[in-house]
Structure 1
Amino acid sequence: MAGIDLHTHLAPVLTDADVAALPGVERDGGRLVVDGSRVGMPRLYQPEALTVWLAERGLDAGAVSAPPPFFRQHLGPDDAAVWVKAVNDGVLRAVEGRPSLLPMAYLPLDQPEAAAAELTRLLAEGADWAGFAASAGGGSVSLAASRLDPLWELLAADGRPLLLHPGSSPDSRLDEFYLANLLGNPYETGVAVAQLLFGDVPGRFPGLRFLLVHCGGVVASVLGRWQRGVDTERPGLPALQAPLTEALGAFYADCLAHDPAVVDLAVARFGGDRIVLGSDWPFPMGSDDPASLVAHLDGDLVRRISEENARTLLSSPHRVKEER
């Protein structure tokens, strides 16, 4: 089946000069050691393996972002600026010469000013980024914070999507039973989306488009509860101009739920035109066949999820101008 996988990962290809100049980064054989931890399995460093994997599944392309071990949200603003430039240049090296791999640049939401500066650099240099990626929750500032307004303005004007991938949850209770991933990841996505919705970020910056991984985390299951809080004027909640279901129109979600019932709920909440394929390649918590996650749906909807929705999301005024 033709289609586009919007949730795959590769490690950035860092030069020897990068590694020598970046504190906390070393090379151990073919893998990187970041802040004392060796990052990822070998396939994370093998773009050719991802290309083969996509072709074997009949997929036309995969959107590629750096995974959370490369977020490094503890860095100060100066170090973060240097680090994200190295990461983004490295992502471009990883996909170079492989047109089926669509790069997404990382923006550090823990350092809003550095994120805006990096986006300004990327836009000026004009590389063909499919979109951008950032940390949902984790160490990011509140996504409703005014410090992020310059970044939202730039992203809204550009039109390319921002993939929100959960960072490491600060909740130490999740240290046991692998809960940082099993529960923390969907929870952190929920925190980020709540901040965006209650902060009226999509309303204040029309043109913003977000992509949520892991089928939107907890969002689909708690959206009704959030709306009930607004309707009953719970303390601390602003009066919103539109129902949350309308504001959710700025969000897409991938299908990576591992449960057909949850995929069905996401379709009902986000809409059939806002669900896309996502595998989380090459991580064990991903899917070896993302199309199988939506195979129970109506055939026309499967086709839209597999291809049309992704192409709509990846289109932007920026790309239309270039094509002309």
Structure 2
Amino acid sequence: MNGDIRPGVIDVHAHWLPRVLLALPPGNPLGGMNDHDGELFLGNMPLSFPTAAMTDIDTIVAGTLKSGLGARVISAPPFAFPVHAPAEADDYVAAYNEQLADAVARTDGTLVGLGLVRLDDVAAARRELTRLAAAEGVAGIAVPPVVDGRSYDRGVLREVLGAAAELDLSVLVHPMQLPHPEWDHHYLVNLIGNPVETTTAVAAVLLGGVLEELPGLRICFVHGGGCAPSLLGRWGHGWRQRDDVRRGSTRAPAESFGLLYFDTITHDPEVLGLLRAHAAPDRIVCGSDYPFDMAQPDPVGYLLGHGIDAATLEANGRRFLGTKPADTSS
């Protein structure tokens, strides 16, 4: 990553979208995002936070410092992923990435950016990834776990990961709340859907042998990896017993699991403990999901209170972002 990051704990999972792009990419089925008297809505649904919390860089910087963080990594909200009419989304993607680079460059290392790419066309993705790799303060991309019923073990999606690894860019995998009729109430599309989407992508990467092909890939799964920590034993059993599970990888899932990054948004210390039992200690990074209603309100305090020290969190965040260690000479 080009550019410095402020010393301190790094929150790798927060969101920003400029006001001029609230309409969302072409083809989005949600009616766009819009401001109603200072509150942000998705279509007709209130998002329960001020518009400025998502759109105003000064507000995000102030919130970052108030939370006791050194820096915060901002990416587009999942509604802005260009997946519904990707061939028509080049202008939106380019506009977001240009404004992201400009915004983070003005924050003296308090904010780091993760850009957008198309996921249907490797050449288009590579063009945008190359521009992002040259942008100061931009560390990589944010992508959804599942696109058109597929994940990152095959096809274009796998090739996009390969291009990101080749360009030394980080990848944050963030769910989209894909609709299911059985999840149309109780906010289950988020409470169940988000973890399940993430779990699907973790399984695809592990069982698809992605890290065997791309050992330098820095890829992070949010919300504590979803259900993956609790299913790792089951996946390992299947890998040992079944040829069709083992066919895509030469390593047992638990071996590659230690190479993945995970954020810490678990909402439960016991679940955080399970994640820590399976993930590598140097692959656990602070996350908040700012400014959404499911965010961890005190990301630093939550982790310090449950046995993860600030120096480790900072080092892990910097490692995920591909940046140099903090300068402690002064």
Name the TM tier (shorter chain).
Answer: 0.7 to 0.9
RMSD: 3.1
Matched, 1:48 2:58: yes
Q: TM-score, normalised by structure 1?
A: 0.84
Equivalent position amino acid for 1:131 in 2: G
- Within 5 Å, give how 1:92-107 maps onto structure 2: 92-99=101-108, 100-107=110-117
Matched, 1:65 2:67: no
Q: Which residue of 2 aligns with 1:204?
A: 213
Q: Which residue of 1 aligns with 2:232?
A: 223
Of the three residues 224, 241, 244, the one matched with 1:232 is 241
Preserved CA contact (<8 Å) 1:139 1:167: no
Distance 1:69 1:12 in 2: 13
Preserved CA contact (<8 Å) 1:263 1:294: no
- Within 5 Å, give how 1:125-136 maps onto structure 2: 125-136=134-145
**What is the aligned-residue identity percentage?**
32
Preserved CA contact (<8 Å) 1:163 1:211: yes
Of the three residues 170, 174, 179, the one matched with 1:165 is 174
Q: Which residue of 2 aligns with 1:5?
A: 11
Of the three residues 303, 310, 320, the one matched with 2:317 is 310
Q: Which residue of 2 aligns with 1:270?
A: 279
Name the CA shift for 1:233/1:36 in 2 (closer, same or farther; >3 Å): same
Q: TM-score, normalised by structure 2?
A: 0.83
1:157 is displaced (CA, Å) by 2.1
Name the CA shift for 1:224/1:113 in 2 (closer, same or farther; >3 Å): farther
1:249 is displaced (CA, Å) by 3.0
Equivalent position amino acid for 1:137 in 2: V
- Gaps spanning 5+ residues in structure 1: where? none
More helix by share: 1
Distance 2:200 2:263 in 1: 17
- Within 5 Å, give how 1:125-164 maps onto structure 2: 125-137=134-146, 139=148, 141-164=150-173
Q: CA offsets per residue over residues 97-137 of structure 1, 9 Å max, x none? A: 112011111223355443233213333x5443122211112
Q: Which has the higher contact order (CA 8 A, sep 6+)?
A: 2
Distance 2:44 2:99 in 1: 20
1:198 is displaced (CA, Å) by 1.5
Name the CA shift for 1:12/1:112 in 2 (closer, same or farther; >3 Å): farther
Equivalent position amino acid for 2:85 in 1: L
Equivalent position amino acid for 2:284 in 1: I
Of 211-220 and 38-47, more deviation after overlay is shown by 38-47
Name the CA shift for 1:41/1:238 in 2 (closer, same or farther; >3 Å): farther
Secondary structure of the corresponding residue to residue 6 of structure 1: strand
Q: Which residue of 1 aligns with 2:4?
A: none
- Gaps spanning 5+ residues in structure 2: where? 1-6, 326-330
Equivalent position amino acid for 1:257 in 2: T
1:34 is displaced (CA, Å) by 7.7
Of 185-194 and 133-142, more deviation after overlay is shown by 133-142
Name the CA shift for 1:308/1:132 in 2 (closer, same or farther; >3 Å): same
Q: Which residue of 2 aligns with 1:260?
A: 269
Q: Which residue of 1 aligns with 2:328?
A: none
Name the CA shift for 1:175/1:41 in 2 (closer, same or farther; >3 Å): farther
Of the three residues 221, 246, 250, the one matched with 2:255 is 246
Distance 1:166 1:22 in 2: 19
Distance 1:152 1:138 in 2: 14
Name the CA shift for 1:69/1:226 in 2 (closer, same or farther; >3 Å): same
Name the CA shift for 1:305/1:7 in 2 (closer, same or farther; >3 Å): farther
Q: CA offsets per residue over residues 27-86 of structure 1, 9 Å max, x none? A: 657788888878874111122122111212221110010111111421142x12222112
Name the CA shift for 1:253/1:114 in 2 (closer, same or farther; >3 Å): same
Equivalent position amino acid for 1:176 in 2: H
Distance 1:94 1:239 in 2: 41
Secondary structure of the corresponding residue to residue 253 of structure 1: strand
Secondary structure of the corresponding residue to residue 8 of structure 2: coil
Q: CA offsets per residue over residues 193-233 of structure 1, 9 Å max, x none? A: 11111111111112101111111111111111111111111
